[in-house]
Structure 1
């Protein structure tokens, strides 16, 4: 659907146009569905903020969702890029929401700068498309890419992957994502589950026609994704900050998605985006419920036995751990299984490393659960005195996400739809 002519220079015409198909519809449902639950959760979690800052928080949050919707609805790479830059800006604003804290401000700047590095690659790829295809519309670029030299297509896809590496936190541009924990916990859930980091996955899945013709780029995507998944999983093993464990877990799961994309399993990668949105939003919001009850404490070594005081948070968090660990019949099993099957078909070594990484995921997630909810309470007497279950505005989103994490499915279809 074309709204108006956006840029017209000589023979180049770039419309401000939207495109709705199976791929964009799935992302629309993830963004608005999970985003709504995070907004509902935020009304309680952020209730102690003063009036001007409370409004500022929600304005940033809504701009974040708007930018991500624009990204997935765009019918050409320019509109996609506008949304791409919008989510980058909002991540800066929300990570540095408590701007009086210098450390949090530095984390926001780090995220902003590292994403700009990736965005340069994306911009150069767009210029190459204009030169080769005379257009940036999906319908034109994907119509007949076989007429372009393989070397040129490889350059375009590699540069697009550089952009995805920054936005979706892959080696070497992954270090900004763990530092993004500086923002409020609902922001972490939104960045890690429904927006921002999934943008790179969407962009490559949307451009799969080009990647199918460039096996070298596909191999690079698969290897980088696999190495990122393994490295982040090993780092998560030793983290004691409850949000840092989940942050490195996100980096690892994104690596899984890139492994699927590199192996040609575009459906499997997008499927994992959906299931990951459910259980990672659940885990981050569950962590926020714990932090709320502990008076801001995030060190798991000072927690323990919280299941006695927080039964709903405990049960829903356990479901999230089972789902991300890939234990059947929970949703994470099916999406990981499809990626691993494609990895085995591509290269048995990919499968072996991917399977080992899945085992590491199960280990560090159940370590997190046991340290937080089982055993003996290790906090202060004052913290123990104030322990309580979170209010309904927090527990209701947890219950809904737990149901989705347990039973989220996608009907199997042959591949991601062409533009």
Structure 2
């Protein structure tokens, strides 16, 4: 499983890079199937992880390298794979693959064909990073990546003023959630001195139950979840998001992005 988990991330990353850098130089069918195939490969790898968990494998908390080191503060690149994250990556890659396949025909006449699939792969990559990350730093990076790619997809037809305004509105609403997440992570680190999930869960008992700090952390996390899942009152961008291509609406509204808030609540539930 320690090999399969990073490969799930690597598949859409390769699709994004290939289509972003070389998409205009290759035939359109190749572009579409690179985009869809990379997500489909991620789904197959996710199924392999599910099979390992069902056959008795233990949840994975694996550090692959240290991304940033500053004094005593280290930010490792570690992945956390359990039943919850496995369920999420199956939904993201499974539904995402079907939407990518549909997009091959739907977007075939659009002049931004390769750009569209690059953005779609970036969105899937960000969602996968969000649910597979083993610490709050990488979760926030994935969280912000989802907001960025949704902005790019909603404003895909940027020649239209309405699309630009809709993308801007979605970005602002999601940024409110990003700010809540960042402040929650700051309070967690300030009080517990750790960012990894396993370490947080092991030390959270040090915070007084019902105290101001734990209450503030929970409320800030709730703001992040409400914004990303488009709940009242941060839901007003959803109708405007229809300015993007139809597959974008399917990917954002019906399948993956709006479940990010649910994942956050489930992951941080103690």
Q: How does 1:286-297 map to 2 (within 5 A)?
A: none
Shift of 1:154: 1.2
Secondary structure, counterpart of 2:238 in structure 1: helix
Match of 2:150 in 1: 91
- 1:72 paired to 2:144: no
Secondary structure, counterpart of 1:143 in structure 2: helix
Paired residue for 1:158, among 219, 228, 231? 219
Match of 1:29 in 2: 90
User: Is the CA contact (8 Å cut-off) linking 2:99 and 2:251 kept in structure 1?
Assistant: yes
Shift of 1:7: 2.5
Give, in whole Å, the separation in 1 of the partners of 2:107 and 2:178: 32
Match of 1:9 in 2: 70
Shift of 1:172: 1.5
Paired residue for 2:257, among 172, 190, 196? 196
TM-score (norm 1): 0.48
Give, in whole Å, the separation in 1 of the partners of 2:177 and 2:266: 17
- 1:54 paired to 2:113: yes
User: Is the CA contact (8 Å cut-off) linking 1:13 and 1:135 kept in structure 2?
Assistant: no
Which structure shows the higher strand fraction? Answer: 2
Secondary structure, counterpart of 1:165 in structure 2: helix
User: Is the CA contact (8 Å cut-off) linking 1:38 and 1:186 kept in structure 2?
Assistant: yes
Give, in whole Å, the separation in 2 of the partners of 1:85 and 1:191: 14
Give, in whole Å, the separation in 1 of the partners of 2:253 and 2:180: 22
Shift of 1:3: 1.6
Match of 2:179 in 1: 120
- 1:107 paired to 2:166: yes
TM-score (norm 2): 0.75
Secondary structure, counterpart of 1:172 in structure 2: coil
Secondary structure, counterpart of 2:67 in structure 1: strand
Is there any run of 5+ residues in structure 2 with no aligned partner, and where? Answer: 1-61
User: Is the CA contact (8 Å cut-off) linking 1:14 and 1:135 kept in structure 2?
Assistant: no
Give, in whole Å, the separation in 2 of the partners of 1:97 and 1:195: 19
Paired residue for 2:235, among 165, 169, 174? 174
Give, in whole Å, the separation in 2 of the partners of 1:108 and 1:138: 32
Give, in whole Å, the separation in 1 of the partners of 2:202 and 2:268: 11
User: Is the CA contact (8 Å cut-off) linking 1:68 and 1:196 kept in structure 2?
Assistant: yes
Match of 1:406 in 2: none
User: Is the CA contact (8 Å cut-off) linking 2:207 and 2:214 kept in structure 1?
Assistant: yes
Paired residue for 1:144, among 196, 203, 206? 203
